[in-house]
Structure formats: C-alpha cells, structure tokens
Amino acid sequence: MANNLTVSYKGNTIHTASASGSATLNTEGKYMEDDVSLSYTFDGGGSGSAGFSDVNFYDYDGTIVQSYSASDFASLSAMPDNPTHSGLTAQGWNWSLADAKAYVASYGKLNIGQMYVTSDGKTRIYIHLEEGRLAPYLGIAINGTATVDWGDGTTSTVTGSSTSTVVNTQHSYATAGNYVIAIAVSGSMALVGNTSYGSQVLWKNSTTGSLNRAYQNAIQKVEIGFNTSIGSTAFGICYSLASVTIPSGVTSIGDYAFGLCNSLASVTIPSTVTSIGNNAFYSCYSLASVTIPSGVTNIGANAFQNCYSLASVTIPSTVTSISSYAFYSCNSLASVTIPSTVTSIGNNAFGTCHSLSSVVIPSGVTSIDGYAFSTCHSLSSVVIPDSVTSIGGYAFNNCYGLGFIKFTRTTPPTVSNSNAWTNIPTDCIIYVPSGTLSAYTSATNYPSSSTYTYVEY
C-alpha cells in the first residue's frame, strides 16, 4: 500500500504526493490555520491528520503528531509510531491501545502523549546565565551519589542519604551564556523545593524568596533521566521553564511541582503517575496541552488553576473526584470530558472557565459544590443527572449564556442557596421530569416560576 499525503486549502487540494515504503510526517510549529488541512494514509492501514480531532497524539512540545476521528481510531490495530528526537529515547504513548479504545468508545474524545527518558539516563537542566549572576547553587535530594557535569568542562560529585533532604552545591561560571547541567545518578534522586521560596534545583540558597528568582528563571528546559522523582515545588516559580520531559517510572507529580511555570506550554504526564498534587500546574499561563493517563486517581486542588491557555482536557476514568479549583480560571477551556467514575465536583472546580460551552455531568455525581461552574459565561446548557442530590451556593452563578437546564431527578436536589442561579438569563428554560412540575416550582432556592419557564418532558 502506498503512502499518500494531501494538503488542502479552503477545501481545495493544492498538493498531493505518494511514495512506497515508510513515510515520516513532520509538522513544524504547534498550530495550523483552520482553512488548511493535512491528511495522509500509511502502510498497514488507517489514516490520520495533523489537526485537532477526537483523538489527538501529542509530542512533548505540544505538536499534534497524529489525530483521528473516534470512528477511525476504533479501527486502528496499533498505536502510531513514536516520534524521534536526538538525545531522547521514546518510551511509548501514555495510554495503551486497549485502554484508549475503551475510553473513546465511552466518551468519544481523548488526548494521548508521548513519554521520553534521556538517552544516556542523565537528568539535563538547560540554563541561561546573565552577567553578575554566575554562581548558582544546585540543590538535589540524593540517596546515593550524583555526578554533576556543569556544562563548562567541570564536574562535581554530590552524595547524600535521603531523597527528602536537599544537598546544595555551588558552582561559579566564568562567563554568561547557555549551559546544560547533566546529572548522572547512582542511587535515587528527588527534585524538590519549598513553597515559601520556590524551586531548589537552581537557586541562590536563600530563605528570602525574591533572591532566588534570578537563578530559578535561568532554567529554560528540563529533561529528566533515570531514578529521579518530582517532589513538591520541584520547579516552582521557574517562570522561564518552557519545556519538560517526564519519563515513565515517575509515580506522582508533587504539590506545586510546576506552579507558576508561566512559560510551560505542554506536558505529557507518564502512564506510571497515579497522583497529580495540589497546585501541581498552578498558574502555568501558557500551558495549552496536557495529557493525563489512565491510572491517575487524584487530581489535586488547584492542580490546573489559572492555566489560561488550556483549551481541552480529558479526565481518565480512574479519577473519582475533581477537587476544588482543579480547573478554575482555565479561560480557554472549551471542552472537558468528565467520566462516569467521578462522584463529586468540588468547589470552584470549573469556576470562571469563560469558554466552557457545554458540559455533561456524569450519572455517578452526587454533589455539585459551591461555585463549581460559576462565571462560565459560554455555558449554553447543562444536564443534571438523577444521581445529584445537592447543589451548592453560586454553582451556576453568572452563567450568562445558559439556554436550558435539564433535571432528570424526580425529587428536586437540595439547593443550599438561591444564589446558585444568580444572573442566569430569564429566558433560560428549566426542564423537569413528567409529573414533577409542582415539586420543582415549589422547591426551596430554585429559580422563581414567575420569572423562569418550567417545562415537563
């Protein structure tokens, strides 16, 4: 079977090509114009696209390597080939084909990411140092021995007996410029920090947070190697960190691990991770793509708060609750898949997600906490399943675009305060099950039937 490539502009084919044998698809940049489409077929069957679709395969930098409609993905017999990069060893996609197919069959959408470890097993930290700031401390929690290549022709040896106690080593560079610090670990190493003053991976070794910023901001890119874990605040307040690769084998992303990494644009969470800590990606303003694997059971409070650029997220069916403020103020979030395993949606979980246009609350959810969808200006409709027994204050406050709310429970859920519906438009229709009109219109803290139209279905 030949490999075929078709490029179209505004529906018109402007270039086609074919070749026998294997083919490599390479797309430069992260986005394509809406009017441009790129499609291809490859030996062994199947088809894909470099644009955004139901099932999207991301590289570590946010590039969509391949994408498929849900129906095309269901017919695949194997995952797409792994991308290749110098200095990195591809470890495969962070979902198995079987788990991915099962998820897509149930929910229709999924984002999948490629995992990498460094080819030599060393953890590499790419930095840029300015004049006058040439003597950083490297802080690592090591149980064993680490050999540090500072990137300027000199090396150091660091020893320690615990992955919870940071050992600091200072190094002086002769000139400003770009350097790559490579750390080879014999034993185990943790990258950690402190919520009071941020990352200790590269810093001034000061208990005054502001004094550490210059060196924390020097970190541009990180590639994590063997035997290394990501602890709390590992890269907290590293404003300039734009790229990170996290290998399979890491089991958790600690609290504030990447908090305030304002430049971080994309991240693939490896398949071995089961927990994403509180504030793990807090205020990662540029984070446009994140792939969460099957197996994650906990998404911590504030985990993705203020990730303004995050447009789409799929939550695996191993998650049972969405914590408070988990996706608060993700202003670009237009689409979210909440699996049926979720039983509670926390306080402000999706509050101030201005672009969120529709949401399906799964039938296992029993409570919608206060402010859960507050100020979701684009939310046009919501269906509240019969499993929901309670709705918190301000839950749908300031949802200016709501056209209808549909309740499926024959007994009205308890609503803690009438402000749950403040500022929803007066032409919003409220659908209730047949025979329950009186129960809903007389229920406490529901929209007034003298202002809003209730319709039985």
For the domain made up of 343-457, the CATH class stated in words is: alpha beta
What residue spans define the domains of the chain?
3-82+89-111, 343-457
Q: For residue 157, what are its two tokens?
A: 């040896």
The rounded distance, in Å, linking the Cα atoms of 239 and 211 is: 14
Q: Are strands 193-194 and 198-199 parallel, antiparallel or unpaired?
A: antiparallel
In a 3-state reduction of DSSP, which class is residue 87? Answer: coil
User: Any idea what DSSP says for residue 248?
Assistant: B
Tens-digit pLDDT string for the chain (457 aa)? 334 444 443 344 334 444 433 333 333 333 333 444 444 433 333 445 557 899 999 999 999 999 999 999 999 999 999 999 999 999 999 999 999 999 999 999 999 999 999 999 999 999 999 999 999 999 999 999 999 999 999 999 999 999 999 999 999 999 999 999 999 999 999 999 999 999 999 999 999 999 999 999 999 999 999 999 999 999 999 999 999 999 999 999 999 999 999 999 999 999 999 999 999 999 999 999 999 999 999 999 999 999 999 999 999 999 999 999 999 999 999 989 899 999 999 999 999 999 999 888 999 999 999 999 999 999 999 999 999 999 999 999 999 999 999 999 999 999 999 999 999 999 999 999 999 999 999 999 999 999 999 999 9
Q: For residue 210, what are its two tokens?
A: 């502001």
Distance of CA 288 to the CA centre of its chain: 8
The rounded distance, in Å, linking the Cα atoms of 310 and 327 is: 9
Q: What angle do CA 91, 287, 82 make, to 5 degrees?
A: 20
Q: For residue 309, what are its two tokens?
A: 């650029």
Q: For residue 44, what are its two tokens?
A: 């062994």
Instruction: Give residue for tokens 């007996």.
Output: 161
Q: Where are the beta strands (DSSP E) in 247-369?
A: 252-253, 266-268, 275-276, 289-291, 298-299, 312-314, 321-322, 335-337, 344-345, 358-360, 367-368
Residue type, 355: S
The rounded distance, in Å, linking the Cα atoms of 13 and 15 is: 6
DSSP labels, 364-390: T--EE-TTTTTT-TT--EEEE-TT--E
